[in-house]
Amino acid sequence: MQYLRVQSRLVIFLTPTSMSTLTSIYLPTPATTEAALLSNPKSELQNILNGCATDLARYDAEIATARATLTRLESERQSLEDFRVKVVGVNASLHLDAPVYRLPTELLADILEITTRERYQQDHSPLYQLANGRLLELSTVCSRWHTVALGTPVLWTTIFVEIRGQSAPNLKSKDDFDERLQLEALLRAVLARSNTLPLQIHLDLRESYSWALAIYPLLVAESKRWTDAHLTLNTSTTILIGPLKNRLPILRRLTLEKASFHIHGLFDNAPSLTHVFVELASPLDSFPKLPVSQLRRLVVVLDRDYRHDPRNMDTLELASDLLEKCSEDCSVAILGLQVTEGGLTDPVVSRIKTLELSMNGLLPSALESWDMPCLDTLSIEGPTQPLVWSTSSFSAFAARSRSLTRLELKGIFISAHELASSLEHVPALCELSVADGDRNVGGITHLPATELDSFPN
- HSE, side-chain direction, 13 A CA sphere, residue 126: 29
Helix H or strand E encompassing 172: none
Please state the domain count of the chain.
Answer: 3
Helix (H, G, I), strand (E, B) or coil at 354: strand
Are 87 and 113 contained in the same domain? no
Are 347 and 264 contained in the same domain? no
Task: Report yes or no: 207 and 234 within 8 Å, Cβ to Cβ.
Answer: no
pLDDT at residue 445 in the model: 39
Share above pLDDT 90 across residues of the chain, in percent, rounded to a whole number: 21
Alpha-helix runs per DSSP H in 139-255: 143-151, 177-193, 209-220, 235-240
Across 85-89, 205-209, 431-435, least confident range: 205-209
Determine the structural domain holding residue 88 and report its residue range: 64-96
For the question of whether the overall pTM of this predicted structure is more than 0.85, the answer is no
Are 163 and 232 contained in the same domain? yes
Are 68 and 143 contained in the same domain? no
pLDDT at residue 121 in the model: 64
Structural domain contains residue 300? no
How far is residue 155's CA from residue 135's CA, in Å, rounded to a whole number? 8
How far is residue 104's CA from residue 152's CA, in Å, rounded to a whole number? 13
Structural domain contains residue 42? no
pLDDT at residue 434 in the model: 87
Structural domain contains residue 135? yes
Q: How confident is the model at residue 333 (pLDDT cuts 50, 70, 90)?
A: very high
In the predicted structure, residue 446 carries a pLDDT above the cut 50: no
Structural domain contains residue 374? yes
In the predicted structure, residue 94 carries a pLDDT above the cut 70: no
Of 153 and 17, the structure prediction assigns the larger pLDDT to 153
pLDDT at residue 86 in the model: 86
For residue 96, which amino acid is it?
L
The overall average pLDDT reported for the chain is 78
Please classify residue 64 by burial: count the beta carbons closer than 10 Å to its beta carbon, then call 0-12 exposed, 13-18 middle and 19+ buried: exposed
For residue 221, which amino acid is it?
A
Please, which residues have CB within 8 angstroms of residue 315's CB and are 6 or more apart in sequence? Answer: 302, 306, 307, 336, 337, 338, 339
* Per-residue pLDDT tens over the stretch 46-63: 888 888 888 888 989 999
Q: How confident is the model at residue 453 (pLDDT cuts 50, 70, 90)?
A: very low
In the predicted structure, residue 430 carries a pLDDT above the cut 80: yes
Structural domain contains residue 281? no
Please, which residues have CB within 8 angstroms of residue 420's CB and are 6 or more apart in sequence? Answer: 452, 455, 456, 457
Please, which residues have CB within 8 angstroms of residue 312's CB and are 6 or more apart in sequence? Answer: 280, 282, 283, 284, 285, 306
DSSP secondary structure of 58-106: HHHHHHHHHHHHHHHHHHHHHHHHHHHHHHHHHHHHHTTTSGGGG--HH
pLDDT at residue 32 in the model: 66
Structural domain contains residue 303? no
Are 106 and 231 contained in the same domain? yes
Across 3-17, 38-52, 365-379, least confident range: 3-17
Are 397 and 417 contained in the same domain? yes
Structural domain contains residue 7? no
Are 89 and 238 contained in the same domain? no
Measured in residues, the chain has a length of 457
Average pLDDT over residues 79-89: 86
